[in-house]
Amino acid sequence: MSAMLLTIVISVLALLTVGGVGYSLVGADPHAARARQRLQSVKRGTTVTSRESKQQQKEQDRRKTVQKALHELEEKQKQGKKLPLDTRIEQAGLEFGVLTFWLASLGFGVFVFLAMLMGGLNPLVAAGGGLAAGFGFPRWVIAFLTAKRQKVFMEEFANALDVIVRGVKAGLPLTECLNIVARESPDPVGSEFRSIVEGSRMGITLEEGLQRMYERMPVPEVNFFVIVLSIQSKTGGNLSEALGNLTTVLRDRKSMRGKIQAMSSEAKASAGIIGSLPPGVAALIFVSTPDYIRPLFTEQMGNLLILGGAIWMTIGVLVMKKMINFNF
């Protein structure tokens, strides 16, 4: 009896042992699998987090580099605000020097002074007219030619950037694209890019050439172009995409400029009529009844009245010009 009981106990214990071992082998797998899955997900999350942190750090470094480049460009542009006379002559597209300019201004002032004296005007008024003609009129001519040259430049600048974008997308280096623009584009765009290409052949860096281009053509569009190329040369990136976006911006600005000019054309016409009425009426009176208006030119009080009227007319014209011109 005791032997049978012992056999039963041993059999139960053996069954329990086998069941426990089997349960441990079969039942532990899901827990182990889930544990391994959790471990792998933690590892993947750590890897993704590390990659994102590296990308964020790279983006932060790039932004710092861009901000530094922009700060350097702004400092250089602030230093070059006061332009010398030879640079302003170059901006107008003229090829003579400063000495020629001063001699031409002096000769024109003396000519106006002698012409006013021969016309019977007071010597003091003639001297003032000669001084204004010799000092102010040549600078007005330079400013007028500069504005005209900048307007012609802006009409073709976006097309030149399109040529550069297509060349970069085709695999050409940037210098070769600039050379194509210098050869194919009309002046003044071709001449400005030609100066960059010739300067690079003489050892001038691209950044210095672009800065000189901005000095000769100080318009916001050229400033954008200088900033894009300067930042791209320092930080890298997709140049064709950056220039393509710049081209889109330039065309949008051109379209906005045309809309503003169309909307302000009526105000400009009104200002032109108002500004031309006093001298026009004076010219008609001088032609029809010269004796009536002659005292203004022969008498000292009349000369003072003309001088005061000219000053007030100049102030009025400047105020109207400020009202009808829009910065955009």
Residue-wise pLDDT tens digits, 178-236: 888 888 888 888 888 888 888 888 888 888 888 888 888 888 888 888 888 877 777 76
Q: How far apart are CA 114 and CA 162, in angstroms?
A: 54
| Residue 12 in this model has a pLDDT that exceeds 60 | no
User: Is pTM, for the whole model, over 0.75?
Assistant: no
Domain ranges of the chain: 145-262, 264-328
Residue-wise pLDDT tens digits, 250-289: 888 888 888 888 888 888 888 888 888 888 888 888 888 8
Question: What is the per-residue pLDDT for 203?
Answer: 81
In this prediction, residue 28 has a pLDDT band, given cuts at 50, 70 and 90, of: very low
Torsions phi, psi for 193 (to 5 deg)? -70, -30
Q: How far apart are CA 30 and CA 46, in angstroms?
A: 24
In this prediction, residue 52 has a pLDDT band, given cuts at 50, 70 and 90, of: low
| Residue 9 in this model has a pLDDT that exceeds 70 | no
What six digits make up the tokens of 129? 């007219």
Question: What is the per-residue pLDDT for 48?
Answer: 46
Contact 138, 146 (CB under 8 A): no
Question: What is the per-residue pLDDT for 37?
Answer: 65
In this prediction, residue 134 has a pLDDT band, given cuts at 50, 70 and 90, of: confident
Q: Which of 14-23, 168-177, 252-261, 275-284 has the lowest mean pLDDT?
A: 14-23
Question: What is the per-residue pLDDT for 185?
Answer: 86
Look up the CATH superfamily of 145-262. Type II secretion system (T2SS), domain F (1.20.81.30)
| Residue 246 in this model has a pLDDT that exceeds 70 | yes
State the sign of the Cα–Cα–Cα–Cα dihedral 87, 93, 95, 96. negative
| Residue 25 in this model has a pLDDT that exceeds 80 | no
